[in-house]
Homo-oligomer: A and B are copies of this chain.
Amino acid sequence: MKDPDAGRNGVDVLPSVAANPRWTGCACVVCGRHYDTRYEGFVCADCGIDGILDAVYEGGAGVAALVRADGDDTARGLWRFAPLLPVVPTAIHPAWAVGGTALLPAPRLAAHLGLRSLVIKDDTGLPSGSLKDRAAAVALARARQLGFDHLACASTGNAAASLAVLASRGGFRSTIYVPAGAPRGKLAQLLLHGATVIRVDGTYDQAFELSLVAIERNRWYSRNCAHNPLLVEGKKTAALELAWDLTRGFTTDADLPDVVLVPVGDGCIVSATAKAFLELKDLGLVDRVPRVVGVQAAGASPLAQAWARACASQASLDGAQVRAAIAPVAPDTIADSISVGIPRNRVKAWRYVAATGGAFVAVEDDLIIATIRDLAARAGVFAEPSGAAGLAGLVAAREAGLVDPRDRVAALVTGHGLKDPGAALGHCTMPQPVAPLS
């Protein structure tokens, strides 16, 4: 903390934020059209809502040196990796200094699963209990750079919680659009953190649609991650921290994982994970890229299904072909944070995962529950169903030949079990009471 008394009169004194001078703009994931950093749209002007953009940076030895130099300054939270983010705060406000989560070796769980080694990147300890705080932190900083003091999104889950919590910490206002039928407990938490909650009498998609119109009319900043391409950049930092820790600051690749397992809903986190490793490789900071395996719940697995259908041609498809290959499904899974019928970031996710030599697989709900139990009992990490889904994909990944017993495996655990404890806790058997001494 640079100045604990900043804003002692009730005004948050936020540091100024500049664009990263090495961020050169965004490219459309469908048609490839490039937009420079002054482009104010969130999607490609030609491809519309499916034309998700993807941030692009200058590479080179200068950037690699910056990453090495800043990487051990863990007090900066995820901003230690600012050279690979679109924006750079002049100082780190504690509200934005999220990150630096534990990387836990899990030898007993590895033995149970027949793996040589397993590490868990445990993002359950972030302020709102999920990895999505990493996106919210970048959203706040970008909003600050552009002069916004009000952010909005459509979500009932982790994205909404991350916005409500970090906006409250940082002195921003937040408005969140939700379908009217969303669980009252989740809405109450958003209200508690001071967010304005707009309950839309319709589906999630209708809430999303209304949020986009409101964001434009009110001149708010959008924290819709599958829409705003810069938020995926924040999510890269989980993989960047993992890589830093396992390579001891990019000094050795010996312990870099062979496979990284990541849960997939809209496809933002898996895109970010793959992109992080590919950027490190391009910068010469690592010599190889782990295979990134995206895991969907079987009841909400449009990417895994399309990947299986596409067989050997996955990696060679262009953006338009990928978009055409993926058919929507009616989602049905206990893992609500990844219960998505048509992933908004499907093209970006497919192309980045393919570039790592990875794949998409699906996992049944009962295996997700079993994995929550394994993670809690053998690694001391309590995950919500979607948070455990990545590791739960191990069986399917093995059957697909993506994981070998000699491989080092890493899994991202993306959300805390206390967010959705019912499914896991309902499966525990209560012991019979015993008599007291007297």
Binding site for B on A (CB under 8 A): 1, 3-13, 74-75, 94-95, 97, 100, 102-105, 107-108, 110-112, 116-117, 119, 122, 125-127, 129, 165-171, 180, 184-185, 187-189, 191-194, 197-202, 206-207, 209-210, 213, 245-246, 255, 372-373, 376-382, 408, 416-419, 421, 424-426, 428-438
A10 touches B112 (CB 8 A): yes
Q: How far is the CB of A155 from chain B (nearest CB, A)?
A: 16
- Tell me if B425 and A189 are in contact (CB < 8 A): yes
Task: Indicate if the CB atoms of B380 and A165 lie closer than 8 Å.
Answer: yes
A107→B165 CA distance, assembly (Å): 16
Known: A189-B421, A199-B432. 10 other contacts (CB 8 A): A4-B105, A4-B117, A6-B107, A12-B108, A192-B377, A194-B376, A199-B430, A200-B434, A209-B436, A210-B437
Contacts of A104 in B (CB 8 A): 94-95, 169
18 A-B residue pairs with Cβ-Cβ distance under 8 Å, sorted by A, are A1-B105, A3-B105, A7-B105, A10-B107, A10-B110, A10-B111, A12-B108, A97-B102, A104-B169, A125-B126, A125-B127, A127-B381, A167-B380, A192-B372, A192-B373, A192-B376, A194-B377, A207-B436
Q: Are A102 and B94 in contact (CB under 8 A)?
A: yes
Q: How far is the CA of A7 from the CA of B107 in the complex (A)?
A: 5
Q: Are B378 and A194 in contact (CB under 8 A)?
A: yes
**Cβ of A103: which chain B residues have Cβ within 8 Å of it?**
1, 4, 94
Cα distance, A75 to B429, chains bound together (Å): 38
- Please tell me if the beta carbons of B379 and A169 are within 8 angstroms of each other in the complex: yes
- Whether B198 pairs with A378 at a CB distance below 8 angstroms is no
Known contacts A102-B94, A166-B380, A5 near B117 by CB under 8 Å: yes
10 closest A-B pairs (Cβ-Cβ)?
A10-B111, A169-B380, A7-B107, A194-B377, A168-B380, A206-B436, A202-B436, A188-B425, A418-B418, A180-B433
- Min C-beta distance of A2 to chain B, whole Å: 9
Residues from chain B with a CB closer than 8 A to the CB of A169 are 104, 379-381
Residues B94 and A8 in contact, CB atoms below 8 Å apart: no
Nearest Cβ in chain B — how far from A338, in angstroms?
A: 20
In the bound assembly, the distance between CA atoms of A166 and B430 in angstroms comes to 21
Given A105-B6, A377-B194, residue A382 in contact with residue B425 (CB < 8 A):
no
For the complex, give the distance between the alpha carbons of A417 and B190 in Å.
Answer: 13
Instruction: Identify the interface centre among A100, A210, A416, A425: most chain B CB within 10 Å of its CB.
Output: A425
Question: In the docked arrangement, what's the CA distance between A189 and B372, Å?
Answer: 11
- In angstroms, how far is the closest chain B Cβ from the Cβ of A426? 8
Interface pair A4/B255, CB less than 8 Å apart: yes
What is the CA–CA distance of A436 and B119 in the complex, to the nearest angstrom? 44
Least Cβ distance of A309 to chain B in Å? Answer: 33
Instruction: Give the distance in Å from the alpha carbon of A100 to the alpha carbon of B246 in the complex.
Output: 20
A295 CA / B401 CA spacing, docked (Å): 58
Provide the bound-state CA to CA distance between A105 and B91, in Å: 14
Q: Give the shortest distance, in Å, between A331 (CB) and chain B (any CB).
A: 20
